[in-house]
Amino acid sequence: MNSTSRTKSRSIGLVSLVCLVIGNMIGSGVYISSTYALGALGDARLVLLAWALGGAHAICGAIAYAALAKRIPMSGGEYSFLSRFVHPSIGFMAGWISLIAGFTAPIATAALVFGNYMSESRTANDTTRWIATGLILTGALFHWIHLKTGSWVNNGIVLLKFIGFAVFAMACIGFLQQPSTGDPEVPFVPALSESIVSFDYLVKLDHAAIWMTILVQLFFISLSYTGFNASIYIAGEIDGRIAGEQTNLEGSNTSKDGNMLVPRSMIIACLLVTAIYLGINYLFLACDSREAILAGGDYFVSDVAYDVGGSTLRWVMRITIALSSATSVLAMLATGPRVYAQMAADGWLPSWLGYQNDVPRGAIGIQAALSIALVWLANILDMISYLGITLTACGALATSTLWIAYQAMSDRRPIAWWEHIALAVYIAGALLLLVAAWFVKPVQLWCCLGTFASGIAVYLVSRGKSNRSLSAI
């Protein structure tokens, strides 16, 4: 491949990029977190407040990542930013995290959830593992053909997922408008029994203890918002360049329109997902009792759907949840291999993991193989908290590039005041989430720190093997 002159037409557009981000964000977390938040906070309105705070933090993160994408439209995500504008060791550490934790385990987790819901099993068994394996292989095949092919499939599944949300919402609205037909001596009292515009519950926020409880629940809720930066991993394939090309981003080779598609996709998708999360959690809490939601545990959404619309609506939500997991697998099979391909282009990984005819087929194959191995060899659902901590810390470090390399970033495009504010809020929120992790998941926090340290150690051993020096493109 002629990396100095070869260009290609834009692979996918704004709609596909938005669907990619939505597919990466909406996984299984939104269908699980609220039952535990309700048990801890007591008041359903505080649960919605926690989801709103999580959404605000994610939106600030999307704005911060968008600010980076405007100035550095290349594939590879955090690895590319940090290696070129902070230090190669920090970038390698971010790439190392992506390789061993950032994508492999989340793909396997989402695939297992898909298998559980498709087989109607609440525990992993051989059937669910085979279904999960089939999903990963199918997704890898579509992306192996071309990014556009995988994106079309992802767009279709996201559309089906939205149809499922719409059916559930309409059923819930109809349910809420019906007069109560239950036992008059035991009236139905929903978990969200008071108006959300009645702000009397805010007096509870006078106590520091409730804020600590909210922070702990935000730690788990924020896992549902991760993935808002998905499109940044393929940014270099959107405006006509192949990943690894060293082009002048301020020159004529960069389309202004292409340069803005990735930033817009992250912000639009994050706003949409936040609205969906708030709306669907409102319906969860308004359509069933507190006791039923708490008793349902990880599968409370299926119970809510059954109480609202019987077995038919429960089937609709089961398929919708399975599709949510499927889009997560598809999205991460598109984004993860781009990190490895960029590392291969920089000489840190074997060249066969790079691009072949515009597609990183070797990297896609390795990503699929590693994820399938975890599906069969590990109970990875226990790793979700560790992954959330690790990705939160890595995201805060990556977006801080705007400040660490302030002069270089500002020379490319002046940093606006709202970008400064969004970055400050995002980093502050990430630090608070790490504080919460210290209290609720200390083992996973230490594992996160160990992952960072191992990345630096591997860099020190491998740095002499890189076949090219990195430069700020």
235-281 pLDDT per residue, tens:
766 654 433 343 344 333 344 444 688 889 999 999 999 999 999 99
Query: pLDDT > 90: what percent of the chain?
Result: 21
Domains of the chain: 14-464 (1.20.1740.10)
- Rounded to the nearest integer, the mean pLDDT of the chain is 81
User: What is the pLDDT, as a whole number, of residue 299?
Assistant: 83
pTM of the shown model: 0.84
Convert the pLDDT of each residue in 46-103 to its tens digit.
999 999 999 999 999 999 999 988 887 777 777 888 888 888 888 888 888 877 767 8
Q: Is the pLDDT of residue 312 over 90?
A: yes
Q: Is the pLDDT of residue 473 over 60?
A: no
Residues 193-219, mean pLDDT to the nearest whole number: 79
* Residue 181 binned pLDDT confidence (cut-offs 50, 70, 90): low
User: What is the pLDDT, as a whole number, of residue 236?
Assistant: 67
3-state secondary structure the chain: CCCCCCECCCCCCHHHHHHHHHHHHCCCHHHCHHHHHHHHHCCHHHHHHHHHHHHHHHHHHHHHHHHHHHHCCCCCCHHHHHHHHCCHHHHHHHHHHHHHHHCHHHHHHHHHHHHHHHCCCCCCCHHHHHHHHHHHHHHHHHHHHCHHHHHHHHHHHHHHHHHHHHHHHHHHHHHHHCCCCCCCCCCCCECCCCCCCCHHHHHHHHCHHHHHHHHHHHHHHHHHHCCCCHHHHHHHHCCCECCCCCCCCCCCCCCHHHHHHHHHHHHHHHHHHHHHHHHHHHHHHHCCEHHHHHHHHHHHHHHHHHHHHHHHHHHHHHHHHHHHHHHHHHHHHHHHHHHHHHHHHCCCCCHHHCCECCECHHHHHHHHHHHHHHHHHCCHHHHHHHHHHHHHHHHHHHHCHHHHCHHHHHHHCCCCHHHHHHHHHHHHHHHHHHHHHHHHCHHHHHHHHHHHHHHHHHHHHHHHHCCCCCCCC
Residues 320-347, mean pLDDT to the nearest whole number: 85
User: What is the pLDDT, as a whole number, of residue 470?
Assistant: 52
